[in-house]
Amino acid sequence: MRGTAKSKVRGALRGAVAVVAAASTALLVTSCDGQHDAGNDAAPHASAARPSPSPTPDWNPRPQSIASLGDSITRGFDACSVLKDCPEASWATGTKVDSLARRLLPSPATSSWNLAKTGARMADLPDQMHTAVERKPQLVTVLVGANDACRNEVSYMTPVDDFRADFESSVAELRKALPKSQLYVASVPDLKRLWTAGRNNGLAKTVWKLGLCPTMLRDPDAQDPASEERRAQVDKRVGEYNAVLKDVCRRDKLCRYDASVHSYDFDGDQLSKWDWFHPSKSGQGRLAEMAYREITAVRPTG
């Protein structure tokens, strides 16, 4: 082949190689979805443009079913008659008060379940949660903890670490079984404020002598250092319980903690006339109002 011809062939080959190389480069730097990746500096922008594989779930202010867990407060104990549960007056699911279920659900009787137990402590919550998830509620409410502080002696109060472990276990149970269900957690009521509300009422003090929350309500007139220290320890433990509830709830994207239950000042009309401790029907209505406000709020307030 003559030199000139060879030069022409080599030039043609170089041109073909250049075209192929350019095309290959274009394919390598173009992603499958048509986004251009210019290297490591541009990679974050490409990632940000794609939808998250696990988008942050939105809070639904209108759940269609409710399972309510907790203790005697949610069972409506002493709200209708002495020493008896009255779930129909419960703040959560009751039919005799403007309960949370009546405010939220089109059919409260068939889509709400009161699974609370009088006398329950946090240690009982995992079993209650296990029962609740079988019903697949869109919202679970929890109000528990007063009985953990209301013991015969302050040394018997539930340790904070145990309280946390059982609450975390319950939340994990819900998340594993129902990852999209929402959780409303009410703070533990202010037991010391309840003592303040009833300590000047003769009937209340007579009832309290029967053994109602002895760590706080025993010897309600006593002002000696030991009695004051006993009440202070109970008050401190309730605060620690609420700190646990808030912390665990904060780390769950579909949980709302309601501090207003602890800060609310229940007066005589809102406390049971039989024990001056549990909410009356009026008090149950206030609890329902607070829960409804938190659950339907655009953003959590707790």
Residue 273 lies in a domain: yes
Query: For residue 115, which amino acid is it?
Result: L
27 and 148 assigned to the same domain:
no
Determine the Cα–Cα distance for residues 165 and 172; give it in Å rounded to an integer: 10
152 and 180 assigned to the same domain:
yes
CATH code of residue 260: 3.40.50.1110
Residue 193 lies in a domain: yes
Residue 60 lies in a domain: no
- Total domains present in the chain: 2
Claim: this prediction has a pTM higher than 0.95: no
12 and 77 assigned to the same domain:
no
Residue 275 lies in a domain: yes
Residue 61 lies in a domain: no
136 and 15 assigned to the same domain:
no
Domain that holds residue 101: 66-296
What tens-digit pLDDT sequence spans the chain (302 residues)? 444 443 443 444 344 334 333 333 332 233 333 333 333 333 333 333 444 344 446 899 999 999 999 999 999 999 999 999 999 999 999 999 999 999 999 999 999 999 999 999 999 999 999 999 999 999 999 999 999 999 999 999 999 999 999 999 999 999 999 999 999 999 999 999 999 989 999 999 999 999 999 999 999 999 999 999 999 999 999 999 999 999 999 999 999 999 999 999 998 899 999 999 999 999 999 999 999 999 999 888 86
127 and 204 assigned to the same domain:
yes
Separation in Å, CA 234 to CA 184, 192, 214, 215: 24, 8, 10, 7
Q: Which helix (H) or strand (E) holds 133?
A: helix 125-133
Determine the Cα–Cα distance for residues 109 and 222; give it in Å rounded to an integer: 46
210 and 238 assigned to the same domain:
yes
133 and 273 assigned to the same domain:
yes
Residue 144 lies in a domain: yes
**217 contact partners, CB below 8 Å, separation of at least 6:** 194, 195, 198, 208, 277
